[in-house]
Structure 1
Amino acid sequence: MRPFRWPPGGRYFPGWYWAATTRQHVGFESWLERDRLVLMDFDPAVVGVASQPFWLHWHDGTRERRHAPDFFVRRADGSAVVVDVRADDCIAPRDAEAFEVTRRACAEAGWGFERVGRPEAVLLANVRWLSRYRHPRCRQHPVAARLMEVFSQPVPLMAGADSAGDRLATLPVLFHLLWRQELSAEGMSVELLGPRTVVRLAGGGAG
């Protein structure tokens, strides 16, 4: 595992993200990595994630090269995926070679490989909002039970929150249930969450 560095005056934005999936901190070295990490934490198919998991060494015909992928992801079905995060317009030939070498090495190990770029802006904004309520302490069981009953049929978000009690108490729990995908909101990838967003019991995803 490659250690993280925080050089003074650096142009990157490293930090730690507390992942609800593992209940541990996971490192990132850019805001784009952080955003992708939040989306992985939101993905119910992901059960584990580690950052900068290993060094990969190879010779490019001229000199020795090495590359540390950004994340190692374990999925609920037992499969593994190595993830590199780089925006589409920021991939130099040297980077493209590193990603291809990593892809081939992962295939030999029986792992998948993904190079991901900037996520869809609206979905990211919604998931980042819900991530504020990802901690298990946001789940108040009596309130959660009332919300699950209220949203057993499709209801606008704020109307349902008010039906379940004082919105100051119900909204944090509602957002936690949306984060957990026990409830789902319509149009998460195309429209920002709002009072009129239709919410229902989850039937398989965020919509």
Structure 2
Amino acid sequence: MTSTGFKLLYRPRGSRELLSAEMPLLRSLSLYDLDPARDVPNYHGQSHRGGWYASSKVGGHLRHESGLERLRMQFLDFDPRVTTFMAQPFTLQWSEGEKVYRYTPDLLIVRAGQARVVEDVKPAQFHGSPRLQRAFKAAREALGPIGVGFNLWAPPEPTVVRNVQYLAGYRRVPAGLREHLGPILAALRERPHGLMELAARVGPAPLVLPVIYHLIWNHRVAADLSRPLSLETTLSPAPLPGEAA
């Protein structure tokens, strides 16, 4: 059955009511002016674990509905192309025959110079359910004509996941960043260094290591994250924006 009458339902910041608009508004809505379109349920006995994620990129706490959503938020914080993102950003409403349906996607992602992307973050085993299949089909039909992408996110291989999760602990600016930044980058411009070798060369290793991890997180220092991160990991200077890797 064909989906028709797509509407964008969104909640302005501080409002208790959902407003209705035509779909093209999604291309220009400021995420900073929105509150989540729906509340994330939290009740005793639920099968998934919700909570709050403190995003360094958004500059605030975002509610997540599962550990997989929290992981995705970490990867969005880690992605240098992402400028901001929002959880539960809007509700899509549409009709099929006489029935009205609603679907609230998990994330809306804004990348510099690129089209916005709406994402659903659910385990792959649930993607085939009739309810989700209907919602995904309607989302693609509604978003495609306005130039907004739709994506089902799956995590990368486990080693990359573990590395990014570890580095996420250093996403906040550490003490000593101003003091050690210059010497770290100068040493790497001379030649690649092992992680511990670099820390010991620059200063007391316990003080320098958090700075190095923070610089890897912020893509100022390059490391092969497809391999387990260790004190022997080889580091090199990351290319500046616009430079070839």
- For normalisation by structure 2, the TM-score amounts to 0.78
Shift of the 138–177 alpha-carbon distance from structure 1 to 2, 3 Å rule, reads: farther
1:109, distance to aligned residue in structure 2 (A): 2.6
State the match for 1:94 in structure 2: 131
Instruction: Give, as a single letter, the amino acid of the residue that structure 1 aligns with 2:48.
Output: Y
Q: SS of the residue aligned with 1:151?
A: helix
Where do 4+ consecutive residues of structure 1 move more than 6 Å? none
State the match for 1:80 in structure 2: 116
1:2, distance to aligned residue in structure 2 (A): 1.3
Question: 1:36–1:119: 8 Å Cα contact kept in structure 2?
Answer: no
Question: 1:138–1:176: 8 Å Cα contact kept in structure 2?
Answer: no
State the match for 2:19 in structure 1: none
Q: Does 1:55 align with 2:72?
A: no
Q: Does 1:136 align with 2:176?
A: no
Aligned length: 204
Residue among 45, 63, 67 paired with 1:27: 63
Shift of the 45–167 alpha-carbon distance from structure 1 to 2, 3 Å rule, reads: same
Q: Does 1:165 align with 2:203?
A: yes
Q: SS of the residue aligned with 1:57?
A: strand
For residues 74 and 139 of structure 1, the distance between their equivalents in structure 2, rounded to whole angstroms, comes to: 31
After superposition, the C-alpha distances for 1:55-104 in whole angstroms (9 at most, x for unaligned) are 11122346322110000111111531111112222211321221121122
Q: Does 1:119 align with 2:148?
A: no
For residues 160 and 235 of structure 2, the distance between their equivalents in structure 1, rounded to whole angstroms, comes to: 16
State the match for 1:179 in structure 2: 217
Q: Does 1:147 align with 2:164?
A: no
In structure 1, the gaps of 5 or more residues are none
Q: Pairwise mapping of residues 35-50 of structure 1 onto structure 2 (< 5 A)?
A: 35-50=71-86
Q: Does 1:195 align with 2:231?
A: yes
Question: 1:56–1:102: 8 Å Cα contact kept in structure 2?
Answer: yes
Instruction: Give, as a single letter, the amino acid of the residue that structure 2 aligns with 1:155.
Output: H
- For normalisation by structure 1, the TM-score amounts to 0.91
Percent identity at matched positions? 31
In structure 2, the gaps of 5 or more residues are 1-36
1:196, distance to aligned residue in structure 2 (A): 1.4
Shift of the 78–138 alpha-carbon distance from structure 1 to 2, 3 Å rule, reads: farther
1:119, distance to aligned residue in structure 2 (A): 3.0
